[in-house]
Amino acid sequence: MNDNIENEKPMNLSAAGTISNVIITTLETSGVADNNVRVEFMDQHGTKNDKYLLQYPDKQIQGIGVYTTLLLALTNSIKVTLKTTGTIDKNGFGYISSVIISTI
């Protein structure tokens, strides 16, 4: 349950808990997400990652702010950096705690 995210594959980890240069491909608010948002993305190597949820889905900045930023990245095909908690739950899901958009 508390496995380090570095043990999950495939990933593009440039630093512990950071996944760089990803394209958001899907945001799902039903199904396995159940009162959360399931985030699917493609890493810089073209590998699809689909086992991530928001860390704080019901908080203002940590939840709504992160969701809004992910939605913006999805609709505009903007590459982002995801910060994760570094933990994987019993169902194999990791948690996104913040999103960074950079134009450089």
Ramachandran bin of 17, using left for φ above 0, alpha for ψ from -120 to 50, beta for the remaining angles: left
| pLDDT tens digits, one per residue of 58-93 | 777 778 889 999 999 999 999 999 999 988 889 899
pLDDT for 104:
67
pLDDT for 103:
73
The 3-state DSSP class for residue 46 equals coil
What domains does the chain contain, in order, with CATH numbers? 17-101 (2.40.50)
Task: Report how far apart, in Å, the C-alpha atoms of 9 and of each of 23, 47, 73 are.
Answer: 17, 10, 23
Quick count: other Cβ atoms within 10 Å of Cβ 1?
Answer: 7
Its pTM stands at 0.78
| pLDDT tens digits, one per residue of 26-63 | 999 887 777 899 999 999 899 999 999 998 877 777 78
What is the rounded distance in angstroms from the CA atom of residue 23 to the CA atom of residue 102?
13
